[in-house]
Amino acid sequence: MLNVIDYVPGDTILHRLNPVTKLTLAASIIAATFLADGYAALIGLLLLTLLLGAYAGSASRLFSLVKVLVPVSALMLVLQLAFVRHGEVLWLFITTDGLVSGTKACLRLVGVALPLVLMLTVTKTTDLANACVEKLHVPYPLAFTFTTALRFVPVFTQEMNAIMEAQTARGVAFDTKNPLKKLMLMLPVCVPLLVTSVGKTDATALAAEQRGFYLRTRASSYRRYPFCARDAAAALVCVALIAGGIAL
């Protein structure tokens, strides 16, 4: 089972950028998405993200994420349509202003989610954590917590699947079509999941401490993450993106 945020191996410029630069680039696209107000800019930024994804070989991941986001943004569109009451009435409760602000909200939602995921698919989490510790002076325990949390996502998903399978085999009707009923059935199952997670987290903490976790300093990392020319170039792109976002 593949995770949307799993690392996609590759050797593109995007892969080779400093993790901190990638983080900045993603943040700039997000900032520009918030600042921009025109359809052209919003769609342009979204296209930029998708093109970068295609270049880095993680387009399929982005599309699978878009598939998840479509129902969410549809819901958002409906809400916007219902609550924005000014502007000309087009049909029933739909107004022109509502349509404009609703579609823009949808574009923003997708535009904000994608760059972060793209950044994670082209960066190994350990590299990201180490670079943040080295360049941004993020405290290591915080970075470790972050990488561990990401690493635990698939572990707990597997655990949850195993629990659901075991319960289904006992006769709990997890195979019901009714999502509300399924949710009600899932609640008691969270107890065993919680019990295992607490145990696993404690075991990981012990294992980390037994391998010198508390000795670690900013200088410990074996890999170094120097900035180079392409990072400077990327920084210029970031500035341009934000400036463009403000202007358009």
Partner 1 sequence: MQPTEQPIIEMRDVAFSYGEDADRALDGITLTIAPGSFTGIIGPSGAGKSTLAAVLAGAIPHHFTGQLFGATLVEGQDTCELTLTDISRIVGSVNQDIDAQMVASVVEDELLFGLENFGVAHERIDETIAAALDAVGIADLRDREIATLSGGQKQKVAIAAILALAPRVLVLDEPTAALDPVSSRMVFDVLRDLNRDRGITVIVIEQKVALLSEFCDRLLVMNEGRVALEGTPHEVFAHAAELRAIGVDSPRVARISNSLARRGLYPAGTPCLNVAEAASLIARTVGTGAPQAGEPGSVPAAAPRTGSPHAPAPRPHAEGAEPVVRFSGVTFAYPGGGASVNNLDLAVYPGELVGIVGQNGTGKTTATKLVNGLLRPSSGSVRIAGVDTRDVPVSEIARHVATLFQNPDHQLCKNTVRDEVAFGLELQGVPRAEAVCRAERVIERFGLPADEAPFSLSRGQRQMVALASVVVTEPAVIVLDEPTSGLDYRECMTVMETVREMAEQGSAVIMVCHDMEVVSDFAERLVVMADGCILARGATADVFADAALMARARVTPPQVVELSARLAQEVSPAFAHETEVSGIVDTTVALAGSPAPTADPEEALRA
Enumerate binding residues for partner 1 (CB under 8 A). Answer: 1-2, 7, 124-126, 144, 147-148, 151, 154-155, 159, 162-163, 165-175, 188-189, 191-192, 195-196, 199-201, 203-216, 220-222
Which C-beta is closer to partner 1: that of 89 or that of 142?
A: 142
CB of 117 to partner 1, least distance (A): 17
Report which of 107, 134, 102 is spatially closest to residue 23, judged by C-alpha positions.
Answer: 134
Which C-beta is closer to partner 1: that of 68 or that of 191?
A: 191
Which C-beta is closer to partner 1: that of 85 or that of 223?
A: 223
Which C-beta is closer to partner 1: that of 7 or that of 227?
A: 7
Which C-beta is closer to partner 1: that of 101 or that of 126?
A: 126
Which C-beta is closer to partner 1: that of 101 or that of 196?
A: 196
CB of 141 to partner 1, least distance (A): 12
Report which of 194, 157, 188, 195 is spatially closest to residue 170, judged by C-alpha positions.
Answer: 188
